[in-house]
C-alpha cells in the first residue's frame, strides 16, 4: 500500500464512514412503525416532498457518469466524447412533452411503474413483463458504471492496485459494494435520500472549485483547448500507421463528417432512453402534480451547463500534464495532482458517494419492478406487504450482483459503454410506453414482437463490436454500421428502427387478421388529468392492485 | 359548491400546446444537426466554435423550456378559472 497519501485517504475515509453511518441510521429517519412493507422500504414511506424528491432526481444527474465516464472519453480524444452535452439538451424538452401524460394516466389508475401502465393500456401481461424485465436488465450495466467509477478513484488513491491476485485488486471495491448493499437492504430508499444531501453538498463544492479554479490556474480555457488539440495531433502523427491499419483510433475533439451520425444518434438515443429507466420513472411519478415535472424540465438545463464543463475536465487533465494509461483515472488523477491533499480527499469522497447514491436508487427501483410486475403479477398474487418488502430487498441484492458481473466480465476501459449498452436495451420499451401514451393503434403482440426482435438484434450487434486493437473481443463499443451502409450509428438507434418496423408491420397484419387486441383500461381524458380532478390519486399507492 | 363535476374530455385547448411544441422544437432539433457546428472557427475567448456553440445551445434550450412552461401553465390556469375550479 505504498504511495497512499495519508491526509487525502483520512479525509476520504472519514466522509465514507460518515455516509455509511447515515445510511444505516436512515432506517430511523422519519421513523415508521415497521419497515416491512414496500411503501416504507421501497418508497421511503412516500412522505417525500418536492424538496427531497428534487435531491433524489438531481442525484441521477451527477454520478460517476459525469465525473469519470464522460471526461474519460474527452481525455482519450474520442471524437464523439462530447455527445453527453447534446444528450442532456435534448432530454428535457422530451420530458416536458411526454412525461406529464404518463404522470396523469398513472395517477388516475394508480400505476407505479411503466410496466403497470403498459399492462393496463394493452391488457397484456406478457408486454408488461417484457417492460419490467428490460428495466431490471438495463439497470445493471448502469450500476456497473458506478462501480467502475468507485474503482478508479480507489486506484488513484493507491488502494486496490495490488499487482498480484484479483483479490487484492478488487477487494476494496467489494468492501464498498458490500457496505452499499447492506445499508440499502436495511434502510431502503431512505438511505440514498438522506445521503443525497451530503453527496450534493460535496459535489457542488468540488464542481465549482474544479471548473473555476483549475482552468484559471492552468492558463485559461484557450490554453487548455490548444494543449488538448496539440496532444491529439502529435498522437495521430506518431501512430499514423496503426490508425490506418485500424489497430488504434485516431484522436480529435470535433467529430469529422463520418462521425456525425454517431454523435447525433448517441445523443438522441441516450435522451430517449434516459426516462425509460425505472429509477427515472419512479422519480417523476413521485412528484406532486403535472406542473412539477415541467418546472423541473425548465430548470434542469442549468445542470447540463455544469456537465459540459465537467466533460471538459478531460482536456484540463491533458493541459495539466496528467499521464494515465486508464483514461478513466484522468479526472481523479487531476484532482490528486492539482488540489491540496485534504481537498483531493474531499473530491474523491464526492465521486465515490456520488456513485453510491444513484447505485442504491437504481437497484431499489429495479427491485420494485421485480416485486410489482413479476413476483406479485405472476408468482404470488396474494403476497402480504411484508413478503413484498422482503422480495424487493432480496431483488435489490441480486440486481447489484448482476451489476458486479458486468464489471467483472465486460471490458471496462470505457465504463460509459456499459451505460450505453443499458441504453440499447431500455430504448426498446419506448414504443410500448411513449407511443402508447398517444395512440392505441399498435397491436399488443406487434409491440411484443418488435421488443423481442430488437432486444436480440441489438444485443447481437453489441456483442460483435470488438475493442479497438483487440480483434475477437466483444461489447467493445456502442457503435455499429447501419445495415447496408458504412455509417457508424449508436446500436440502440439501429435496434429501435428495427423495433418500429416490426411493430408497425405486424400491427397492420394482426389488425387485418382481427386478432384480439384486449381492453384498454384508460380513457383519452386520463392523459390530461391533474390533481384536483375526479379520481386522481394525490399520491400513488403501491400497495393497491395494478388494475384499479 | 359541493362537488366538482368531472371535466369533459379534451378540455385543454390545443393552441398553447402547439405553441409549446414549436418553442421546444429548436432545442431538440438543433443539437442533432452536427454539420451546423462541427468547426473550430469562429473561436470565442479561446473556445472553439464547436464547444461554445453547444454550451450556448444549453442556455437557449433553458430559455425556450421556461417559455414553454409559462405558456402551458398560464393556459391551464385560465382554463381552471373559466371552469370555476379553485386555483392551486
CA pair distance B47, A278, nearest whole angstrom: 38
In this structure, what DSSP letter does residue A46 have?
G
A42 versus A220: the higher-pLDDT residue is A220
Is residue A478 within 8 Å of residue A420, measured between CB atoms? Answer: yes
Please indicate whether, in this complex, the C-beta atoms of A260 and B32 are within 8 angstroms of each other: no
Nearest CA in chain B to A260: B34
- Residue A116 pLDDT greater than 60, yes or no: yes
Please indicate whether, in this complex, the C-beta atoms of A297 and B28 are within 8 angstroms of each other: no
**Which secondary structure element, helix H or strand E, spans residue A490, and what is its range?**
strand A488-490
Quote the pLDDT of residue A176: 79
Task: Return the bridge partners of A548, or none.
Answer: none
CA pair distance A12, A184, nearest whole angstrom: 21
Low-confidence residues of chain B: pLDDT under 50: 1-10, 87-88
Task: Please report which confidence band the pLDDT of residue A127 belongs to, taking 50, 70 and 90 as the band edges.
Answer: very high
Cα A540–chain centre separation: 24
Q: What are the pLDDT digits (tens) for A157-192?
A: 887 665 555 556 677 778 877 888 887 777 777 777
Residue among A411, A468, A354, A407 nearest A160 (CA): A407
Please indicate whether, in this complex, the C-beta atoms of B47 and A225 are within 8 angstroms of each other: yes
> Which residue range(s) make up the domain with A502?
6-24+53-218+257-518
Quote the pLDDT of residue A502: 95
* Burial track A168-187 (b if 16+ CB lie within 10 A, e otherwise): ebbebbeebbebbbebbbbb
Give this prediction's pTM: 0.87
CA contacts within 13 A on the Cβ side of A536: 22
Quote the pLDDT of residue A426: 94
What does the domain layout of chain B look like in residue ranges? Answer: 14-86
Quote the pLDDT of residue B10: 47
Tell me the residues of chain B between 18 and 57 that have a Cβ less than 8 Å away from chain A: 20-21, 24, 27-28, 31-35, 38-40, 43, 45-48, 50-51, 54-55, 57
Q: What are the pLDDT digits (tens) for A442-486?
A: 999 999 999 999 999 999 998 988 887 777 788 888 888 888 888
Q: What are the pLDDT digits (tens) for B26-40?
A: 999 999 998 988 888
CATH of the domain at A328: 1.20.1730.10
Flag whether A241 is in a domain.
no
Q: What are the pLDDT digits (tens) for A313-357?
A: 999 999 888 888 888 888 999 998 988 989 999 999 988 888 888
Task: Return the bridge partners of A488, or none.
Answer: A481
Residue of B61, B76, B85 to mutate, testing the A interface (most A Cβ within 10 Å of its Cβ): B61
A137 versus A529: the higher-pLDDT residue is A137
Residue among A419, A376, A394 nearest A269 (CA): A419
SS (H, E, C) A116-178: HHHHHHHCCHHHHHHHHHHHHHHHHHHHHHHHHHHHHHHHHHCCCCCCCCHHHHHHHHHHHHH
Mean pLDDT computed over A349-370: 86
| Number of domains into which chain A is organized | 1
- Residue A538 pLDDT greater than 80, yes or no: no
Flag whether A32 is in a domain.
no
Flag whether A146 is in a domain.
yes
Please indicate whether, in this complex, the C-beta atoms of A264 and B61 are within 8 angstroms of each other: no
Quote the pLDDT of residue A547: 38
- Residue A387 pLDDT greater than 50, yes or no: yes
Quote the pLDDT of residue A491: 93
Helix (H, G, I), strand (E, B) or coil at A179: helix
Nearest CA in chain A to B62: A301
Quote the pLDDT of residue B9: 46
Is residue A234 within 8 Å of residue A318, measured between CB atoms? Answer: no
Is residue A366 within 8 Å of residue A139, measured between CB atoms? Answer: yes
Flag whether A535 is in a domain.
no
Flag whether A45 is in a domain.
no
CA pair distance A209, A213, nearest whole angstrom: 5
Cα A222–chain centre separation: 32
CA pair distance A440, A517, nearest whole angstrom: 10
Flag whether A234 is in a domain.
no
Amino acid at each position: 500500500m505504498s504511495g497512499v497519501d495519508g491526509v487525502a485517504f483520512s479525509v476520504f475515509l472519514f466522509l465514507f464512514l460518515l455516509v455509511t453511518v447515515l445510511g444505516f441510521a436512515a432506517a430511523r429517519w422519519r421513523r415508521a412503525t415497521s419497515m416491512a412493507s414496500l411503501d416504507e422500504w421501497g418508497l421511503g414511506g412516500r412522505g417525500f416532498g418536492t424538496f427531497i424528491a428534487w435531491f433524489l432526481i438531481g442525484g441521477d444527474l451527477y454520478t460517476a457518469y459525469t465525473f469519470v465516464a464522460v471526461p474519460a472519453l474527452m481525455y482519450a480524444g474520442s471524437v464523439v466524447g462530447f455527445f453527453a452535452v447534446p444528450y442532456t439538451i435534448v432530454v428535457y424538452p422530451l420530458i416536458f412533452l411526454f412525461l406529464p401524460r404518463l404522470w396523469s394516466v398513472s395517477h388516475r389508475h394508480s400505476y407505479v411503474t411503466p410496466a403497470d401502465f403498459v399492462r393496463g393500456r394493452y391488457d397484456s401481461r406478457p408486454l408488461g413483463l417484457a417492460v419490467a424485465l428490460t428495466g431490471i436488465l438495463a439497470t445493471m450495466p448502469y450500476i456497473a458504471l458506478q462501480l467502475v467509477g468507485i474503482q478508479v478513484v480507489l486506484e488513484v488513491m493507491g488502494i486496490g492496485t495490488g499487482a498480484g491476485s484479483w483479490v487484492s485488486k478488487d477487494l476494496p471495491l467489494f468492501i464498498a459494494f458490500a457496505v452499499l448493499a447492506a445499508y440499502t437492504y436495511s434502510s431502503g430508499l431512505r438511505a440514498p435520500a438522506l445521503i443525497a444531501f451530503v453527496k450534493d453538498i460535496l459535489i457542488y463544492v468540488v464542481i465549482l472549485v474544479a471548473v473555476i479554479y483549475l482552468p484559471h490556474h492552468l492558463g485559461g480555457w484557450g490554453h487548455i483547448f490548444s494543449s488538448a488539440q496539440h496532444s491529439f495531433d502529435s498522437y495521430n502523427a506518431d501512430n499514423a500507421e496503426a490508425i490506418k491499419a485500424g489497430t488504434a483510433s485516431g484522436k480529435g475533439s470535433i467529430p469529422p463528417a463520418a462521425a456525425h451520425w454517431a454523435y447525433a444518434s448517441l445523443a438522441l438515443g441516450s435522451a430517449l432512453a434516459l426516462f425509460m429507466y425505472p429509477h427515472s420513472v419512479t422519480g417523476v411519478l413521485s412528484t406532486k402534480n403535472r406542473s412539477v415535472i415541467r418546472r423541473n424540465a425548465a430548470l434542469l438545463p442549468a445542470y447540463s451547463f455544469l456537465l459540459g464543463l465537467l466533460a471538459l475536465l478531460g482536456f484540463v487533465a491533458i493541459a495539466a500534464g496528467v499521464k494515465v494509461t486508464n483514461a478513466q483515472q484522468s479526472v481523479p488523477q487531476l484532482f490528486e495532482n492539482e488540489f491540496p491533499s485534504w481537498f483531493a480527499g474531499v473530491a474523491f469522497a464526492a465521486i465515490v458517494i456520488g456513485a453510491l447514491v444513484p447505485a442504491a436508487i437504481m437497484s431499489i427501483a429495479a427491485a420494485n419492478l421485480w416485486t410489482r410486475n413479476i413476483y406479485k403479477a405472476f408468482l404470488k398474487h396474494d403476497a402480504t406487504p411484508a413478503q413484498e418488502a422482503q422480495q424487493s430487498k432480496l431483488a435489490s441484492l441480486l440486481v447489484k450482483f448482476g451489476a458486479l458481473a458486468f464489471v467483472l466480465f465486460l471490458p471496462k476501459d470505457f465504463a460509459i459503454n456499459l451505460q450505453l449498452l443499458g441504453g440499447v436495451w431500455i430504448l426498446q420499451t419506448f414504443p410500448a410506453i411513449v407511443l402508447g401514451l398517444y395512440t392505441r393503434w399498435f397491436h399488443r403482440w406487434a409491440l411484443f414482437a418488435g421488443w423481442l426482435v430488437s432486444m436480440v438484434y441489438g444485443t447481437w450487434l453489441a456483442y460483435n463490436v470488438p475493442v479497438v486493437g483487440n480483434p475477437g473481443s466483444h461489447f467493445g463499443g456502442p457503435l455499429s454500421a447501419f445495415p447496408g451502409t458504412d455509417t457508424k450509428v449508436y446500436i440502440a438507434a439501429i435496434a429501435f428502427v428495427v423495433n418500429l418496423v416490426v411493430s408497425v408491420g405486424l400491427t397492420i397484419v394482426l389488425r387485418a387478421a382481427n386478432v384480439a387486441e384486449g381492453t384498454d383500461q384508460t380513457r383519452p381524458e386520463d392523459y390530461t388529468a391533474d390533481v384536483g380532478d375526479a379520481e386522481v390519486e394525490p399520491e400513488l399507492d403501491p400497495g393497491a392492485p395494478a388494475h384499479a | 359548491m359541493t362537488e366538482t363535476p368531472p371535466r369533459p374530455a379534451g378540455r385543454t385547448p390545443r393552441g398553447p400546446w402547439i405553441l409549446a411544441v414549436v418553442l421546444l422544437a429548436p432545442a431538440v432539433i438543433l443539437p442533432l444537426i452536427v454539420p451546423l457546428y462541427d468547426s473550430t472557427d469562429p473561436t470565442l475567448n479561446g473556445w472553439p466554435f464547436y464547444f461554445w456553440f453547444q454550451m450556448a445551445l444549453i442556455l437557449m434550450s433553458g430559455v425556450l423550456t421556461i417559455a414553454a412552461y409559462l405558456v402551458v401553465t398560464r393556459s391551464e390556469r385560465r382554463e381552471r378559472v373559466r371552469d370555476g375550479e379553485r386555483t392551486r
